[in-house]
Amino acid sequence: SAVISQKPSRDICQRGTSLTIQCQVDSQVTMMFWYRQQPGQSLTLIATANQGSEATYESGFVIDKFPISRPNLTFSTLTVSNMSPEDSSIYLCSVAAEYEQYFGPGTRLTVT
């Protein structure tokens, strides 16, 4: 299994600012994903971040708004840029193991 940590665990930010969320894994993994989850709702995939290649974004998500870095096989960052209240959500990173995916504890973001 993989142990995933995220920083920060929660934050309250002002409209128009940016926040960078860090995801650290205790083992080397090729495939890493970023999801968004509104409280009480399902998970929505933002992008796939594989080391050595550009992130692949899902429909409705763009690089200018959610830039992602993947400098090595154990770390990734997601930036939420020019935030608005609609960006308030829980952001989770996950990694793919042989069959399953492991999720980090999430970053709860509130934009005021």
Determine if 104 is a binding residue for other proteins (CB under 8 A). yes
Q: Out of 16, 20, 38, 58, name the contact with other proteins by CB under 8 A.
A: 58
Contact indicator for 107, 37 with CB cutoff of 8 Å:
no
Determine if 101 is a binding residue for other proteins (CB under 8 A). yes
Plot region of 75 (φ>0 → left; ψ -120 to 50 → alpha; else → beta): beta
Residue 28 vs 56, nearer CB to other proteins: 56
Determine if 100 is a binding residue for other proteins (CB under 8 A). yes
DSSP letter assigned to residue 12: E
Q: Strand pairing partners for 107?
A: 91
Q: Out of 22, 51, 73, 102, name the contact with other proteins by CB under 8 A.
A: 102
- Calpha distance 48→36 (Å, rounded): 12
Phi, psi dihedrals of residue 13, rounded to the nearest 5°: -125, 160
Residue 23 vs 111, nearer CB to other proteins: 23
| Binding stretches for other proteins (CB under 8 A) | 31, 33, 41-45, 48, 56, 58, 92, 96, 99-106
